[in-house]
Amino acid sequence: MAPSETFSNLLRAAAPVLALAPMQDVTTLQFMRVLHRYGGPDVYWTEYFRVHGDSRPEKWILDSITKNPTGRPVVAQLIGNDIPALVRNAKLLQQFPVAAIDLNLGCPAPIVYRKCAGGGLLREPEKIDAILGALRAAVTIPFTVKTRLGFASPAEFAALLKIFAKHPIDLLTVHARTVAQMYRPGVRYDLIAHAAKEMHCPVLLNGNVFSAAQAQQLLAETGARGLMIGRGAIRNPWLFAQIRAQLRGETVKLPAGRDLLNYIHELWDNEITPGVRESAQVQRMKKFTNFIGEGIGAQFLHDIRRVSVTADFWRVCEQFLAHDEPLALAPINSPNPAGQP
């Protein structure tokens, strides 16, 4: 079965769809390999392909499609505002085993939105309308969109929804924050519920999903077709399996400190490039421990951010994780760090 058919069947099935959110320079092929061993999502999103002028799909991101060992469908995400270039790259990517083509309208990084790409496009609804029309005409497999609520205010979302509803997209993923909000508190799940009622296509909920119990509650409250999880899955690679257990009415198993330590060792083995200088290796791992540490505590984050050599990196990890106590791995700033709704 073609990946696009598998993806379409997922959207039609009864079970909620669980997806890995794209995070640039983090949710790589290497990370996908590790995450799959812990249960993994039903579908993966690539990092975004940067589209401009005569750009072509980056090889290392293509690897997450062509060399992906998980057996799960992979959606190729585009970012940019040049319509002919977006169309050209969408056609190129359809020559590979992709499940769908996705347009990024949510990246909040200033270096991106200042170029009127990603979340920056939310300030130009007419441009979005034109891009969606052109891409829908060029994409013969499922075409999806990932958005935020607006650029500066959630009040922008109603107008954006009308534009999305105008085009026959196959899935809308909503990160329920604005671009200006970045990742700060105040996720508007109520607006995802509104989108799920208004849109003719399925809607995925994205934004601060951190536990199985909370995930079940959000699905029930919003009517979303499924969940897209980024930071929560990096912090807790068991999360997708925990959500499935919760939805089946089974006991949710929590990992022990040593389990998390083993996960960090797996990340190290998969993410580190031989021959790279030691300080660069440690810095690479900090991209992950910055997320993982949110489920351990402020002192771990303080200490791990200050290490620069391998020995110190592992000393800090073992100091905090060489134990058999269960870990909820909810973010330390969560209103319910035990992971309950």
Active site residues per annotation:
107
106: its two tokens: 């949510």
- Cα dist from 206 to 48, 117, 148, 149, 218, whole Å: 17, 19, 9, 11, 10
Q: What is the DSSP letter of 119?
A: G
List, in order, residues 6 or more apart from 28 with CB less than 8 Å away: 47, 60, 64, 271
265: its two tokens: 């060792």
- Select from 249, 246, 205, 252 the least CA-distant residue to 225: 205
- Angle formed by the axes of helices 310-321 and 278-292, to 10°? 20
d(CA 218, CA 227): 9
- Select from 4, 7, 3, 1 the least CA-distant residue to 226: 7
d(CA 261, CA 321): 6
- Cα dist from 257 to 214, 246, 311, 318, 334, whole Å: 22, 21, 19, 9, 20
207: its two tokens: 């934004």
165: its two tokens: 């509803």
Considering all CA atoms of the chain, what is the largest pairwise distance in Å, rounded to the nearest integer? Answer: 56
Q: Where are the alpha helices (DSSP H) in the chain?
A: 3-12, 29-36, 59-66, 83-93, 110-113, 125-138, 157-166, 189-198, 212-222, 231-235, 239-247, 257-271, 278-292, 298-304, 310-321
